[in-house]
Amino acid sequence: MKDYINDSKVNSEIQLKNSDGFCFDYKGNSEYGENTQKVFKIKEGLYLFIADSISKEGSVKKSDNIFDQDIIGIYHYTNGGVLLQIENYVGKFSSGDTFYLVGNPKNVIATPLSERHSVIGFICYAEMLDIIIDEYQLCRDIDMKNFYNDLKNIHEPFIMKTSFNLTLLINDIFKYIEKNNYYMIKNKAFELLYKSICQYENFSEKSLRTYKVEAIELVHQIKEYIDLNYREKILISQLVKRYNINKTYFYEIFNYLYDISPYKYIVKLRLSEAYSLLIKTDLSVEEISYSCGYDNVNKFINSFKRIYGKTPGKVRI
């Protein structure tokens, strides 16, 4: 059986730098950015890993089969964010989320939402699952085949909020890693695996929403239009009609992708431009107001003060 340590797909992107038989240190540098991993061999076919990466600006990673064979992957994101596309659906995976991956999906596309990323999680090769469960008496109260088949039949990113108890457990593991306490790392790893599966079993109906690729692309197009035309008069009601997308649905996806409403995003762009003009030019406050998309100077001044805590005139003092 091939496993994580000699999986050709894994080793094509990262190279083993150091190992003591239990802990394996990997490092990689590719067109997507830098990637370092610390991998702990909990059991043959079952690995706990910690990955830290720095994404190159504008990089979009496309993977055609991530591993040599079917796996069960449970990923807890501790820093950063990424948009994950599996088949025709896109999900946002960010700090405080858990992502479940079963099988070996093709055409996985990852678009970074931040420069730095940190993940802790498990890779378990599917054919080893029953052996591990029997040997360590894990998950006896859970139908593991059902868990595996359920997730394998979900053809979209399955993402949940990481529970508070799991977060505490992850923090414990980091502490034991700092102390090189392999015995406790292994024990806590089994506990994390069990509780991660329990989280899915108990709260799978609370998975975070995913959206079709076509809808995500439409929202991206509208955002690009706003980025280029925020100085002009923009009516969201007209934009959604032009791009043929429901207004409520548009607001929902925009908030989901960018953590800000479309209206607040437009205001943010306009006021940021105004602040720059106040510093770099001698234009009057009224001229700057109109050049940044405001048709009422008093409305501009009030918006500016609400965001920056002072009026535009005081920025120049």
307: domain CATH number is 1.10.10.60
Cα dihedral 90, 108, 46, 17 sign = negative
What is the amino acid identity at position 239? L
35: domain CATH number is 2.60.120.10
Neighbouring-strand partners of residue 79: 118
pLDDT at 68: 64
Enter the tokens of residue 119: 């993940």
More confident residue, 152 or 175: 175
CA terminus-to-terminus distance, the chain: 71
| Of the residues 192, 209, 226, the one at which a domain ends | 209
- Per-residue pLDDT at 2 exceeds 60: no
| pLDDT one-digit tens code per residue, 31-78 | 677 888 899 988 877 889 998 988 876 667 776 555 667 778 889 999
Domain that holds residue 19: 4-209
Q: b/e per residue, 161-185, with b = 16+ CB within 10 A?
A: ebbeebeebbebbeebbeeeeeeeb
How much is the pTM? 0.72
Neighbour count for residue 54 (Cβ, 10 Å): 16
pLDDT at 1: 41
More confident residue, 221 or 32: 221
Question: What mean pLDDT is reported for the chain?
Answer: 83
- Judging by beta carbons within 10 Å of its beta carbon (0-12, 13-18, 19+), is residue 290 exposed, middle or buried? middle
Q: Which of 196, 216, 202 is nearest to 100 (CA)?
A: 196
Q: Which of 194, 199, 217, 100 is nearest to 154 (CA)?
A: 100
If one counts the domains in the chain, the total is: 2
Verify that 252 and 197 share a domain, yes or no.
no
| pLDDT one-digit tens code per residue, 171-213 | 999 999 999 999 999 889 888 888 888 888 777 666 667 888 8
